[in-house]
Structure 1
Amino acid sequence: MAENTSFRGEVVLGWILSAIVILALAADAAVDLFVPSLIGPQMAETGFPANLATVVGLIILVSVVLYAIPRTAVLGAILTTGFFGGAICTHLRLGEIGSPPQLIGLLLGIMAWGGLYLRDERIRRLLPLRSVSG
């Protein structure tokens, strides 16, 4: 009984972590899609044309929707990992090692996979972090 309660707690924690990632990415996508002028200066600083904000917003939106749906969550996690990796690399290229955007991208990436690991038995079977015997 206690093991089942512990497992249920892990699943709830997984969904909480996933919800934080989903909300953060949905907010980012909304800004990129609906107020691209707000993100334009930051995009220019990183070497991207401001008119790509809408494209980036669509990529984020598709990724987060896929991540939020249990059946496609693994694909969504892979796509968000690619997005976070690109963002981290962009800031690294600018010499911004350990910058807040890099750390936020890293943290959200860890939370995305950690949340998925806790809420999805398929991922736990694929990556067993505990021994089967106990």
Structure 2
Amino acid sequence: MLSALFALFMLGASVAPKLLGLPVATQTLTDLGWPDAPVLLIGGLELLCTLLYLWPATSVLGAVLMMAILGGAITTQLRAGSPLASHTLFGIYLGVLMWAGLWLRSPALRRLFPLRRG
């Protein structure tokens, strides 16, 4: 369920506006200091990472690559002086949601990072 929520958010709120050429995607990046941002490339990379994350055989690779994208988003928000809790840390919130979903659906990841009592 968490993986689905993450993927739906990425596809609907980030990937689709970029790949559909919606003005909000270009305007948002311009407002963040990227007036000539490669919007289609960013949207394509986000789509690729989301699909890799959803496919069980490549889910960890997709999560690692998506964290690189989210790290870039966090850095961009920091550089733009965006509000901390609502904008800058949003990439962390998404990353936690993404990894939690992967941890819940991957026995191998749970063995690698087990929850321990006490």
Give 2:27's aligned residue: 41
Query: What RMSD, in angstroms, separates the aligned Cα atoms of the two structures?
Result: 1.8
Percent of pairs with identical residues: 37
Q: Does 1:92 align with 2:78?
A: yes
Q: 1:34 Cα shift? A: 0.5
Give the Cα separation in 2 of the matches to 1:56 and 1:102: 18
**Distance change in 2, residues 1:121/1:24 (3 Å):** same
Q: Is the 8 A contact 2:52 2:62 kept in 1?
A: yes
Q: What amino acid is aligned across from residue 49 of structure 1 in structure 2? A: P
5+ unaligned residues in a row in structure 1: which ranges?
1-15
What TM-score, normalized to structure 2? Answer: 0.89
What TM-score, normalized to structure 1? Answer: 0.79
Give the Cα separation in 1 of the matches to 2:80 and 2:88: 11
With a CA cutoff of 8 Å and minimum separation of 6, indicate the structure with the bigger relative contact order: 1
5+ unaligned residues in a row in structure 2: which ranges?
none
Q: 1:50 Cα shift? A: 4.4
Choose the corresponding residue for 2:57, options 65, 71, 81: 71
Give the Cα separation in 1 of the matches to 2:8 and 2:70: 15
- Structure 1 runs of 4+ aligned residues shifted over 3 Å read none
Alignment: residue pair count = 117
